[in-house]
Amino acid sequence: MTAVLKLGVAGLSRALAAREISSVELTQGLLAGIDAHSDLGAFLCTDADHALAEARAADAAIAAGSAGPLTGVPIAHKDIFVTDHARSGLPSTAGSKMLAGYASPFDATVVARLGAGEAGPAGRGPGAGMVTLGKLNCDEFAMGSSNENSAFGPVLNPWDRQRVPGGSSGGSAAAVAARLVPAATGTDTGGSIRQPASFTGITGIKPTYGVCSRYGMIAFASSLDQAGPMARSAEDCAMLLSAMSGFDARDATSAERPPQDYAALMRKARAGASAAKPLQGLRVGLPKEFFPAALAADVNGAVRAALAELEKLGATLVDVSLPRTELSIPVYYIIAPAEASSNLGRFDGVKFGHRAAQYADLMEMYKKSRAEGFGPEVKRRIMIGTYVLSHGYYDAYYLQAQKLRRMIADDFQACFSAGAQGCDLIAGPVAPTVAWKLGEQGDDPLQAYLADIFTLPASLAGLPGMSVPAGLGAHGMPVGLQLIGNYFDEGTLLHTAHALQQATDFHLRTPQGY
């Protein structure tokens, strides 16, 4: 029984179909594990009654032969997705005191599509039937790289509890790495799926901007925010992404494309490939800017070893350049705060969330509610964003950043275009180091911003990116290999990661004690 509880999504799908375990037993077992490891800080809340009701419905569907591949498989959501409180019993907080206890009247589209109910509002028939166990801790409004910015306390990395799990989807990453749940949702604005996946040795994919609906995802930076799955393997991620993605009329930036079967795309053999060389003909670009002299030797070593595996599987490594990589840091830290300052304007003490207890007039009510409700990193970004959008600075900062954003996207296209380079994928590290210690960055937010250097370019370009476990580095901490694909080419990312995971066991390593 305990071995079954630790299976991933694909394994549990098979175990449920074979009646090796029921969804109710699975839900009970996992909820007990979540309780036992509550000191990790990964979960903000669970609701056993609602979860067990969903599990019973799933077992009935399995018995009736009407189950899909995800029916009855448990999942938990980053607490940046709103969950219908009446349906799930779960509040939606975005890791902020501003929204403590907030009861959403509806489910985010991603939640509805994965979930047990009718995904009616999302306009695509019933949900995939997964059982929602609870909500996962995250940096406040998804701003951060270490999960230390949550108003509800930090998350510990199960590989070393003195270290951070990465952020902002740190709760999702720690929960999956500690085998508390087979899979979780995450969101990635500038790296928040890939970097925590890398820091905790799990697999995560941020799809092309527009693939997953942002409806019901509490907004941070709308032109960058994108949802994606975090799980043990590329196979698990492919199954989840098929269910959670697809056009949604409620999100104006949702891509109008037919539903995709990512598991089929993942398995689709490449022309000229063989069993021994599944990646034959795949051209993988290595940007020299992703391997600077300052890159930690352990990260470089693990990434190079994973790249050597890709070569053994038939891939060709090509040297390329993304010359504006360094500029992605100032560009992102202008555009993201600008959009955040606008998005967070809605939290005024009137429409949503926290309201100050005492105030003399309306203006004081706004000021006190926001001063009390938001944490320091969120305030810092609101101030930066307001500044760069203000009259006289807009042209100098915001407009310049937008121009550079386009040039960063063009640099990727030069690598992908059929000319001399003609890459199918770009590869490199996810982060310059392994997970750092809690509190290590002290009061210097710039340290964390600089560590986003390898994830920001793909975010600014809107390209799909993935973190795949590549072994262990310093202090026995996990290292992730980043794969970046061209627009809507999640299939090649998943295919490559799956081939690597069929040939190696990096993704099967588990932190001790979990």
Element (H, E) at 287: strand 283-287
Residue 144 or 207 with smaller CB distance to ligand GLN:
144
Residue 142 or 181 with smaller CB distance to ligand GLN:
142
425-429, strands of its sheet edge to edge: 43-46, 131-136, 74-78, 184-188, 226-231, 203-206, 465-472, 478-485, 425-429, 283-287, 316-320
The question of whether 146 is a catalytic residue gets the answer no
Instruction: Please check whether residue 134 is in contact with residue 172, taking contact to mean a CB–CB distance below 8 angstroms.
Output: no
How far apart, in whole angstroms, are the C-alpha atoms of residue 8 and residue 18? Answer: 15
How far apart, in whole angstroms, are the C-alpha atoms of residue 189 and residue 144? Answer: 10
Question: Which residues in the 21-80 window bind ligand GLN by CB under 6 A?
Answer: none
Among 189, 233, 300, 343, binds ligand GLN (CB under 6 A): 189
Q: How far is CA 511 from the centre of its chain?
A: 20
How far apart, in whole angstroms, are the C-alpha atoms of residue 149 and residue 139? Answer: 5
- Selected range binding ligand GLN among 85-93, 189-197, 387-395, 486-494, rule: CB under 6 A: 189-197
CB of 380 to ligand GLN, least distance (A): 11
* x-or-dash string of contact with ligand GLN, 114-153, rule CB under 6 A: ----------------------------xxxx--------
* CB closest to ligand GLN, residue no: 192
Size of the site for ligand GLN (CB under 6 A): 13
How far apart, in whole angstroms, are the C-alpha atoms of residue 214 and residue 221? Answer: 11
Question: Which residues in the 202-221 window bind ligand GLN by CB under 6 A?
Answer: 220
* x-or-dash string of contact with ligand GLN, 214-253, rule CB under 6 A: ------x---------------------------------
What is the pairing mode between strands 283-287 and 203-206? Answer: unpaired
Q: Omega before 145 cis (within 30°)?
A: no
* x-or-dash string of contact with ligand GLN, 321-360, rule CB under 6 A: ---------------x------------------------
Catalytic residue, from 104, 146, 192, 213: name it: 192
CB of 458 to ligand GLN, least distance (A): 11
Residue 76 or 143 with smaller CB distance to ligand GLN:
143
By CB under 6 A, residue 484 contacts ligand GLN: no
- DSSP H helices, 374-399, are 376-389
CB of 224 to ligand GLN, least distance (A): 7
The question of whether 192 is a catalytic residue gets the answer yes
**Torsion region of 191: left, alpha or beta (phi above 0 gives left; psi -120 to 50 gives alpha):** left
Tokens in use for 304?
């190079």
Catalytic residue, from 88, 145, 150, 168: name it: 168
CB of 126 to ligand GLN, least distance (A): 30
CB of 477 to ligand GLN, least distance (A): 18
Tokens 């391997």 appear where?
291
Residue 23 or 92 with smaller CB distance to ligand GLN:
92
Tokens in use for 220?
């941070």
Catalytic residue, from 23, 78, 169, 233: name it: 78
Considering only CA atoms, which of 25, 88, 23, 9 is closest in space to residue 61? Answer: 23
Q: Which spans of this chain sit near ligand GLN (rule: CB under 6 A)?
A: 142-145, 168, 188-192, 220, 336, 452
Which residues have a catalytic role annotated?
78, 168, 192
